[in-house]
A = this chain, B = another copy of it.
């Protein structure tokens, strides 16, 4: 990889132009610009080479991921390394539209774990009085933070990944396969391997939509969403209109039409019941 500053400037300008619709400059003298470029160029990968992932490297990546900040030092995220191909297949069979799960050289599941803190309370003779929504959220967000850093570590080391939140479509089955006890729940799976091909940068909402100064601002949101739909369509038009049995084809099919259709059908409406079965009150 050419990591000269000129090349990094170009990579960052190109990646931000593609991702956000504006070419951002790299301020002179910024250290770590190779990592910034790697983040901006992030893409998901669903096809991998035959090259196995060295077990020592994988362990090091777990260590990297678990070096993140943790809410109040409670350390409520765990990683399940699903090494048994039969278990990977059992999960993959639940989600037939994602064949990359079964093909992934490595498959992980990132879990929220509120169980340990409850056990520690028992062992240390203290009552556990935090059985409410924030308690659940802490663990879910901690798991997301660990997942995010794992992806960064993996990409730095030349690997490609794709997260699989669809394990939450089948939370009981996933939980059974992985032997998750009370108060431990899956947040997302992750496929990992050496990418077969270069990925592509997904266009994201322009920064004027997702970054606010001082106060949440949606004064121009509708126009900004329309502009994003157009920009994204020019780069990567969505070719398949979702739920065609329910909605007539439209001449312009942008991101917002797709997402409105996506969430017009219930998804994981049973996940709350699963979490309550895991002994969360969510009150």
Distance between A114 CB and nearest chain B CB, rounded to angstroms: 10
A141 within 8 A of B: yes
Contact with B along A188-205 (1 / 0, CB 8 A): 100000000000011011
Distance between A9 CB and nearest chain B CB, rounded to angstroms: 11
Q: Is the CB of B134 within 8 A of A144?
A: no
The CA-CA distance from A129 to B265 in the complex, in Å, is 6
The CA-CA distance from A110 to B78 in the complex, in Å, is 23
Contact with B along A25-43 (1 / 0, CB 8 A): 1110011110110111110
Q: Is the CB of B27 within 8 A of A60?
A: yes
Q: Is the CB of A66 within 8 A of B165?
A: no
A52 within 8 A of B: no
A10 within 8 A of B: no
Copies of chain A in the complex: 2
Q: Which of A52-100 contact B (CB under 8 A)?
A: 54, 56-57, 59-75, 77-84, 87
Which residues of chain B are within 8 angstroms of A125 by Cβ–Cβ distance? 260
The CA-CA distance from A120 to B202 in the complex, in Å, is 20
The CA-CA distance from A147 to B149 in the complex, in Å, is 10
A4 within 8 A of B: no
A-side interface size class: 35 or more
A127 within 8 A of B: yes
Q: Is the CB of A63 within 8 A of B81?
A: no
A251 within 8 A of B: no
Q: Is the CB of A120 within 8 A of B204?
A: no
Which residues of chain B are within 8 angstroms of A117 by Cβ–Cβ distance? 259-260, 263
Which residues of chain B are within 8 angstroms of A181 by Cβ–Cβ distance? 216, 218
The CA-CA distance from A168 to B138 in the complex, in Å, is 11
Q: Is the CB of B168 within 8 A of A260?
A: no
State which of B130, B151, B207 has its C-beta within 8 Å of the C-beta of A69: B151
Given contacts A20-B63, A116-B221, contact A27 B40 (CB under 8 A): no
The residue among A78, A123, A133, A158 with the most chain B CB atoms within 10 A of its own CB is: A133
A-B contact pairs, 19 of them (CB 8 A): A32-B157, A36-B60, A40-B67, A42-B67, A59-B211, A79-B211, A80-B212, A81-B213, A119-B218, A121-B263, A124-B261, A126-B261, A129-B266, A130-B263, A130-B269, A132-B269, A152-B152, A178-B215, A272-B282
Knowing that A63-B207, A68-B148, A83-B213 are A-B contacts, what are 16 other residue pairs whose CB atoms are under 8 Å apart, sorted by A's residue number?
A: A19-B67, A24-B56, A27-B54, A30-B157, A66-B207, A69-B162, A75-B205, A80-B213, A84-B214, A121-B260, A126-B260, A133-B282, A137-B137, A144-B145, A148-B149, A181-B216
